[in-house]
Amino acid sequence: MTVYAPALGGLGVLGTGSYLPERVVSNETVAAPAGVSAEWIERRTGIVERRYAADHEAASDLAAAAAVRALDDAGARPEDLAWIIVATSTPDHPQPATAAFLQHRLGAHGAAAFDVNAVCAGFVAALHTGTRLLASDGDGGGRRLALVVGTEVYSRIIDPGDRRTAPLFGDGAGAVVVGPVREGRGFLGTGMRTDGRLHELIGVHAGGSRLPASEKTVARGDHWFRMRGREVREFVERELPREVAGTLAAFGVAAADVDHFVPHQANGEMLRGVVGHLGLTSARVHLPVDRHGNTGAASIPLALDHARRGGEPRDGELVLMAGFGGGMTLGTTLLRWGR
């Protein structure tokens, strides 16, 4: 069952930023090890290329680059931050939180920092968390801003020989600064749901407390990311339209009034097929997945920043974001754009 939470406190997005690693990886590069062709990848996924992090780059490095750009876009400083929330399923280390490394890199030592892991729905979860924390802060000690970042380095956990995952995933980070906006603008609300009965559809089996990493788990490939692609696709095609319709109804918004739809960039061809069932007849659908692939929790803020650099959304326009991924978890949020 979906939990719907109305927004509090007149909060919205003040700035966006993103970062893609320099290394461009073509379909031709990933096709041969996966036993497919470059044409097959583009036809099945809509992806032309993706980015891989350099050897020295971890999730916090990508996050820092995106965060600096978001702070600059918002006209904010690290010392203005009360909260730093990082959504990632590929952290620098199992512990401590990647957000702690990001806080240190930014010099935002007055901010509380922690991670959220809802896999590809993580950014929506982190965004909701950040807005609720700010709303409960009162004046936030004069620091009424939160930094919310999605960052992933999937290239480190992908089996190059797995055709279900290797062609899809890439690395990147996206960030937003959340703070007070004028009346009539900002977040309307969020809807989130998890169906834990389907937890086995997506995941990395080894490396945690249930199955610690060992020579045996490595030999079996249990440290690789695995996904039951057909069942995941069926889940998205079945559940995403229901989730979008439920969120719009919960917050009194007609589907035709949505101006921008920013989904998790899972698979371009799958999304193009699903969008027609959402009823978003007036919405611009943002799908830059062809140039960076599936970047997990980073994909929504990456797509949002891509739209911003293209001059969208405009003041007063209604934005719907939708994440879906391992768990299986779905998250949607509505935002009336304006600073």
Asked if 215 and 40 touch (Cβ cutoff 8 Å), the reply is no
Report cis status (omega within 30 of 0) of the bond before 227: no
Amino acid at 264: H
Grouping H, G, I as helix, E, B as strand and the rest as coil, residue 35 is coil
Active-site pick, 27, 117, 267, 294: 294
Quick check: is 117 catalytic?
no
Residue spans of beta strands (DSSP E) within 104-241:
112-116, 145-153, 171-180, 186-194, 202-204, 225-227
Residue spans of beta strands (DSSP E) within 60-99:
81-87
Closest CA to 115 of 131, 129, 95, 97: 97
- Angle at CA 59, nearest 5°, toward 228 and 130? 90
Quick check: is 294 catalytic?
yes
The helix, strand and coil proportions of the chain, stated in percent and rounded to the nearest 5, come to 40, 25, 35
Active-site pick, 223, 260, 264, 286: 264
Active-site pick, 117, 120, 223, 286: 120
CA distance 151 to 45: 21
CA distance 140 to 80: 10
Q: Beta partners for 12? A: 179
Quick check: is 120 catalytic?
yes
Residues annotated as catalytic (active site), given as ranges = 120, 264, 294
